[in-house]
Every structure is written in structure tokens, then in C-alpha cells.
Amino acid sequence: MMTTLRSLTVPIGELSATIGLLEYLVLNDQLAWIRSGEGLVGFGESARFTSSGPERFADAQQWWLKLADDAEIENPLSVPGSGLAAFGSFGFSKRSPFESRLIVPEIVVGSRDGVTWITQTTADPDAELSPASARSALDLYLDEVPVAREPDPEDRILPGILSEAEWKNAVARSVAHINAGDLSKIVLARDIVASLGSPVSAAQVLRELALRYRSCWTYSVDGLIGSTPEMLIKVENGVARARVLAGTLDRATAPADDPHYPQRVLAGSDKQRHEHQIAIDSLTRQLQPFTSSMTSHSEPFVLELPNVWHLASDVAADLAPGADGGIPTSLALVEALHPTAAVCGFPTSVAGELISELEHMDRGPYAGPVGWMDAAGNGEWGIALRGAVIEDPRTVRLYAGCGIVAGSNPAAELAETWSKFRPMLEALELDRARGAVAGSRA
């Protein structure tokens, strides 16, 4: 029997213009979705759903629609994310044993376009639900003072499932498959392990990421943390938006006196533009059946991040009503779009099989959808990139991947993974030079 939830949203005063929601990042088991100081931060848990396998999205959608339909929701705001909301993380692969999940927090603090609120949700039919109870429940969570972590002499970076040499060999094998005409693109990922001498402070890591990568979406769901630059799909009042990235250039090796370097090397590269076009075509092809109109950049733009430049394109679409007369929810679109060529390859079925063969690892939630949805069908789902999984307080597994196409060079792709590890390594205050970056498997 499904629990009946009661939810109350209370508008509150404005947040600090300097740090916004970052002041609420205090817990190591925090739920978070933050960009430029705005978004949602969750505390506690009122309901949870888990599922794995090919039907994980459909099962979660069915659970959420029933839960939201039965819930008693009092929400004076019309802001996306207000009212009853859930955070979610889904496994990359339908074969993965990873349990995809939706979590309804007890308390959500939200901020959007100058509007800030607290939402309290409870499954207890006898619990008080009022503006006073919402603030009191929040204060109890904020009483927990985060413990900052200092770099430890025992901190180490260890190899993951594959050594660097083994992973470069996997890239070479991928190129051979592409040259043989088996597929046009594959995204290969690798992992490394941060072995820490003292327990990780997830709240501290999230604050660092949210401050350094303000234009990205900083996320945290059940130990999956990171700051992604890629929006799989955002749905707001019947309009869907996506940001597609493919093509990467490391800023650490860029000449200091050449302002046109990223435009020339990225936008001027046939290889990079080919990789990007495959990713755009993959997304728009899958999104088109759900739309009445769609627009995207005719030319990709160069997105500047602190660690890298990317070729990027934004897509916007008006959603069309389905057979039931309603527009598709954000989670329904996630199911239709995942996995895109940006994180899998093309054709996706061929790339997916080859990924399993060459990576020798279960990606778990890495490169899967992560984000939130509300009872009105709005939501934001990024791709879980530039992130890590906290396996235990002293073990953090980091992931990074590269799009492999004809002409990809294994050594250059390996260097690109290190540029993509950099956001998490910096937030963990780890120095790559102190780590073992090759050799035996962890």
C-alpha cells in the first residue's frame, strides 16, 4: 500500500546574493541541485522508490504519478520545483544492478528567480504541518555543523578498473571498430579511486563545486556528487530545453596569448564538429516525436568552464499533448532520450554493447540522468558527469569519459579524461602528482 503524503510550501525571505543556497549545504547526505546559487536543497526523507532494469524509468514514473495524485499538496506558489518534489538518480545501463531511485525529502529549500521557499513533506497523518513546523524542522537539520576536511598525508589517487595503458588500448580498439564501419562514435569512460586518509566532507565538496562551476548544475543524490555542464532535459510549463556538449579542449594546456585558440581548435576542427553533430542529431531525433516545434543553434558555441572548453548547443522545444491530452513529464522525456550519443555513442545499441566489452566496469549512476521533478511535471535532469560516487567515508570513485570517433588518439583521449577529473580532484583537495595513475587495478 502506497503512503499518502502531505506537503506544505511556505514562502520565505530572499537568500544571500553572494552564496544563495550554498549556505544550506551542511550535511554529508545532502540532496542538492544548484546552479548560480539557485535550485533545490533537500533534507531528510519522506518517501523513496527504487528500481533497476529496462523498466526503471517507467516504474519510477508510475510510482511518482500515483504518489503525487494521492498527496495533499498546499502550495501558494506557481514556481517550478515548489510544492511536492523528488530528487532522482538513474543507472546508466538497463543491465546495471544499480538501484535507480526517486527520493522525496522531508524538507526542501528552493530558490528561483528571486522567489525562495521551504516545502515540508510528511507521511505521518498526525504530524503538524504549518509554517512554524517547516521552519522548526529545517532548523533541526541546520544545527548540524559541517566538519571541514583538510588534506591528509595518506590521501592517494589509485587506478580504477583499468590501468592507463589498458584504457588506451580500449580506445585504440574502439577506433578500429569505427574504421571498420561498425559504428560512428563511442563514449568510453574510465574510473580512478580517491583513497582518503580522513573521511570525506561531501558538503564541503559540493560547496567547492557550486562556487567554482556556477554555470554548471551541482548535484547530490545518495552519495552521487558532481557538477555537470550538460542538461539532458529541462521541462518548465510545457517547454523542454536541453544543452548538448561534445568536443572538449583542456584549458590547462592552452597558450595564454591566443584569445581565439578555443574557437579555432574546437569550432575549426572537423573531428570535433563531427562528434558534436552526432550528439545533437541523437537528441533531436529522439525528442522530435514529443514536440510541436523545436529550435537549436545552427552553429555550436564554445562553452567556457574553469577546466575546459566545450562545443555546445542549446535546444528548445514546445511539447505537444500526448494521447491522454497531457504533455509529457520530464521523466517521460528522460526515458525517451537516454542514453544520447553524447554519453553512449552512435548507433547507441552497438555502442552500448561495445562499452560493456571494453570498459570492464559497471558505470552505475555515472552518465545516467540525475536531477529533480515536481508534481506538475516540471523537472531538470542533467547527465551525471564531472562527478563521483562516495563508496564509503574514505573511498571516492571518480569517473570521466571521452567521445571516440575516427581519428581519435589514445594518448590525447587519456589526457582529456584527466581534464575532466580535475573538478572533483580539486574539490577533494587532491593533487594528481601524489597519486598512482597507472599500474595494477584498484
Enzyme catalytic residues: 185, 230
Q: Do residues 301 and 268 lie in contact, with contact meaning Cβ atoms separated by under 8 Å?
A: no
Query: Which residues, 6 or more positions from 389, have their beta carbon under 8 angstroms from its beta carbon?
Result: 223, 224, 225, 364, 365, 366, 396, 397, 399
Query: Which residues, 6 or more positions from 200, have their beta carbon under 8 angstroms from its beta carbon?
Result: 28, 149, 194, 390, 393, 394, 396, 428
Is residue 339 reached through a cis peptide bond, with omega within 30 degrees of 0 on the bond before it? yes
Q: Do residues 126 and 50 lie in contact, with contact meaning Cβ atoms separated by under 8 Å?
A: no
Torsion over CA: 93, 97, 98, 101 (sign): positive
Using alpha carbons only, what angle is made at residue 297 by residues 296 and 300, rounded to the nearest 5 degrees? 130
Bridge partners of 301, per DSSP, are 312
d(CA 9, CA 137) in angstroms, rounded, equals: 13
Cell numbers 560516487 correspond to: 389
DSSP type of residue 24: G
